[in-house]
Homo-oligomer: A and B are copies of this chain.
Amino acid sequence: MPQDEVIWVDGERSASLPLPDRGLSFGDGLFETLLIVNGRSPWLDYHRQRLEAGLAALHFPALGSTFDEAVALALSSLAPQAVAALRITVTRGSGPRGYQAPSPTVPRLVAQLSSLSLDPFTCPAPAKLAVSSLRLASQPLLAGIKHLNRLEQVLATREFRAQNVDEAVMCNQQGQVVSVVAGNLFAVVKGELYTPSLQDCGVSGTRRRALIERWAPRLGLTVHQQALSLEQCLDADELLFCNSLQGLRAVAQLGAKCWGEHPLSQALQQQYLADLQQSVGL
């Protein structure tokens, strides 16, 4: 385990997972990646609510206060000024051999705290994107939730890293745009925002939700959640993506297409940063 990481399993400091565990066996579980700034985790409600939606979709019992206790435990271990990522993984725990879930299920919670070397109040430089050759599979029953079956993202990340870019646009099997590998994508067209609707695949991001519900409305921007083609993205006035650790990031390049100006992305970033400061008490 790297020295800048601390792990808890069910509330106890531990560097090991009891076996068998259905999270390992089948990816039978969910996770959240929280940004920690100034001893607080912004948009924690959105994370908790997405996790709860995932638990319901996978027929897990509700967690009660376990999630909040795990976050509080991690926060209490940190120096106040630290910037960190906290990954909360919830698995269906142990069970007998085979796919059938144990009854009752006793979920297991793994919290992994990693220090980050980024300034959360400085927006990252506009990103270079590729188009992933891997097309996401359509599975409406698992769309939106942040489950542990992430081989597509692992393979797509390997591909775009080899192309020396920062991220990649992922399409579904029909060729419609879904997201980037680790974040949600928005296109700006004639002063309005467009983002894929995520009914068949993709993760419903917490920053995507905040952008739709908070930051875009404050700027008077309409957000359309609908099918989005690669051509529409290439023809857009601006592209931006978001995730919990990078916040909002403008896109400078997608394949051969370049964007030099990002006025609406920057206006949204200002909303993001103002909200971030407020939610971490700065």
**A interface residues (Cβ-Cβ under 8 A, vs B):** 1-2, 5, 7, 9, 14-28, 31, 58-59, 85, 87, 89, 91-92, 94, 96-101, 110, 112, 114, 134, 137-139, 141-142, 147-158, 161, 173, 181-182, 201
A18 CB to nearest B CB, Å: 6
- List the 10 closest A-B pairs by CB distance, nearest first: A27-B27, A137-B137, A149-B149, A16-B16, A26-B150, A99-B157, A137-B139, A17-B17, A97-B114, A99-B153
Of the listed residues A15, A99, A161, the one surrounded by the most CB atoms of chain B closer than 10 A to its CB is A99
Copies of this chain, complex-wide, total: 2
A17 & B19 in contact (Cβ 8 Å cutoff)? yes
Residue of B nearest to A23 (CB): B24
Known: A25-B31, A87-B97. 15 other contacts (CB 8 A): A1-B94, A15-B19, A16-B18, A17-B21, A19-B112, A20-B112, A22-B154, A26-B27, A26-B149, A28-B151, A58-B155, A99-B153, A99-B182, A137-B137, A137-B139
Which residues of chain B have C-beta atoms less than 8 A from A1's C-beta?
A: 18-20, 94
Q: How far is the CA of A181 from the CA of B99 in the complex (A)?
A: 9
Which residues of chain B have C-beta atoms less than 8 A from A21's C-beta?
A: 17, 24
A26 & B110 in contact (Cβ 8 Å cutoff)? no
Residue of B nearest to A59 (CB): B158
* A101 contact from B58, B100, B154, Cβ within 8 A: B154
A151 & B26 in contact (Cβ 8 Å cutoff)? yes
Which residues of chain B have C-beta atoms less than 8 A from A157's C-beta?
A: 98-101
Q: How far is the CA of A20 from the CA of B147 in the complex (A)?
A: 17
A19 CB to nearest B CB, Å: 5
B26 & A148 in contact (Cβ 8 Å cutoff)? yes
Q: How far is the CA of A161 from the CA of B159 in the complex (A)?
A: 39
- 16 example contacts (A-B, Cβ-Cβ < 8 A) are as follows A1-B20, A5-B20, A23-B24, A24-B91, A26-B148, A26-B150, A27-B148, A58-B151, A59-B155, A97-B114, A98-B182, A99-B153, A100-B158, A101-B158, A137-B142, A141-B155
A246 CB to nearest B CB, Å: 11
Q: How far is the CA of A87 from the CA of B95 in the complex (A)?
A: 14
Residue of B nearest to A108 (CB): B24
A147 & B151 in contact (Cβ 8 Å cutoff)? yes
A181 CB to nearest B CB, Å: 7
Q: How far is the CA of A24 from the CA of B7 in the complex (A)?
A: 14
Q: How far is the CA of A100 from the CA of B110 in the complex (A)?
A: 20
Which residues of chain B have C-beta atoms less than 8 A from A7's C-beta?
A: 19-20
Which residues of chain B have C-beta atoms less than 8 A from A152's C-beta?
A: 139, 141-142
Q: How far is the CA of A43 from the CA of B21 in the complex (A)?
A: 27
Which residues of chain B have C-beta atoms less than 8 A from A16's C-beta?
A: 16-19
Which residues of chain B have C-beta atoms less than 8 A from A23's C-beta?
A: 24
